Amino acid sequence: MVNAKETWPLFNARPVRFQVNNKRKSKIIQKILNKTYPKVPIPLNYKNTFTLLVSVLLSAQCTDVNVNNVTKEIYPKYNHPKHFVKLGRKKIERLIKRIGIFRVKAKSIYYLSKTLMEKYNGKVPNNYSDLEELPGVGHKTASVVMSQGFGLPAFPVDTHIHRLAQRWGLTNGKNVIQTEKDLKNIFPKKNWNKLHLQIIWYGREYCKARDCFGISCKICKSCYPNRKKKFMTKKA
């Protein structure tokens, strides 16, 4: 009979090497990102946790710049769930009509606000289970609110992070859930909140979707100095 304790190292030898390699790369990546972005700007403008939640919801399939241009005219007057419940769906639609799929988003904002008033006394809950039960709120949106709204450790994965994590060999790119899990295992928990923003900005400015392709930016060249062919990533 084979001794399980004797076989365990054989089955785990490959993952251990994988982790060590990623730990080395993680130090390179963090060093470059910290030098490039010592202070990280928040992409979305907001007044409180509720308006952050609304802005993240609006940012789906829309640029942060467009969201900020629209919300700068809304938040000075409407910045609490009770305001949006009173407005109603049609008026919310008119306020956000310059944003993509505005009717769907207006519906989510209305029912989201209604739920917050009815169940949470107008306050945004600070846990994943309650956040993800709110209309229009998925795991990524909840993670942003947990991180930027409440300052709790989270690693929201958007399309930029999903793409770069693959280019840097930190995940297999199976899906965003796997990418988030892999990144959390590689990087220190205390760095997650700043790091996910640094990666987003780096993906927008240096390791773009239609540029670099894993061979030209500083991080890609540092992690894979011998890579010559374009690296094609899987979509989120």
Domain count, the chain: 2
Domain final residue pick, 85, 114, 149: 149
| CATH code of residue 130 | 1.10.340.30
Instruction: Please give the pLDDT value at position 26.
Output: 93
Domain final residue pick, 90, 114, 149: 149
Tell whether 184 and 142 lie within a shared domain: no
**Mean of the per-residue pLDDT values for the chain?**
90
Work out the pLDDT band at 2, boundaries 50, 70, 90. very low
Evaluate whether residue 44 is within a structural domain: no
Residue 17 vs residue 233, higher pLDDT: 233
Instruction: Please give the pLDDT value at position 22.
Output: 81
Tell whether 54 and 128 lie within a shared domain: yes
Tell whether 100 and 55 lie within a shared domain: yes
Instruction: Please give the pLDDT value at position 186.
Output: 95
Compute the residue count for the chain.
Answer: 236
- C-alpha distances out from residue 68 to 49, 63, 87, 93, Å: 15, 9, 20, 16
- C-alpha distances out from residue 100 to 61, 66, 104, 122, 230, Å: 7, 10, 9, 27, 32
Evaluate whether residue 179 is within a structural domain: yes
* Average pLDDT estimate for 185-200: 96
73: domain range? 49-149
Tell whether 99 and 189 lie within a shared domain: no
Q: Quick check: 19 pLDDT over 60?
A: no
First to last CA, the chain: 45
Instruction: Please give the pLDDT value at position 174.
Output: 84
**Longest C-alpha distance within the chain, in Å?**
73
Instruction: Please give the pLDDT value at position 4.
Output: 42
* Average pLDDT estimate for 57-66: 93
Tell whether 162 and 218 lie within a shared domain: yes
Q: Which residues contact 202 (CB under 8 A, 6 or more apart)?
A: 33, 36, 37, 164, 217, 219
Contact 80, 47 (CB under 8 A): no
Evaluate whether residue 37 is within a structural domain: no
Instruction: Please give the pLDDT value at position 159.
Output: 86
pTM of the model: 0.86
Tell whether 100 and 133 lie within a shared domain: yes
Q: Quick check: 163 pLDDT over 90?
A: yes
- C-alpha distances out from residue 188 to 67, 172, 185, 196, Å: 31, 20, 8, 12
Work out the pLDDT band at 234, boundaries 50, 70, 90. confident
Tell whether 143 and 169 lie within a shared domain: no
What confidence tens digit (pLDDT) does each residue in 94-126 have?
999 999 999 999 999 999 999 999 999 999 999
Structure tokens at 136: 């229009």
Domain final residue pick, 149, 179, 207: 149
Structure tokens at 215: 């061979």
Tell whether 118 and 205 lie within a shared domain: no
Instruction: Please give the pLDDT value at position 17.
Output: 42
Tell whether 91 and 135 lie within a shared domain: yes
* Average pLDDT estimate for 80-106: 97
Closest CA to 81 of 48, 105, 110: 110
Tell whether 142 and 161 lie within a shared domain: no
Instruction: Please give the pLDDT value at position 116.
Output: 98
In percent, the amount of the chain with pLDDT more than 90 equals 82
Instruction: Please give the pLDDT value at position 61.
Output: 87
| CATH code of residue 191 | 1.10.1670.10
* Average pLDDT estimate for 126-137: 96
Gap between the Cα atoms of 164 and 126, Å rounded: 29
Evaluate whether residue 3 is within a structural domain: no
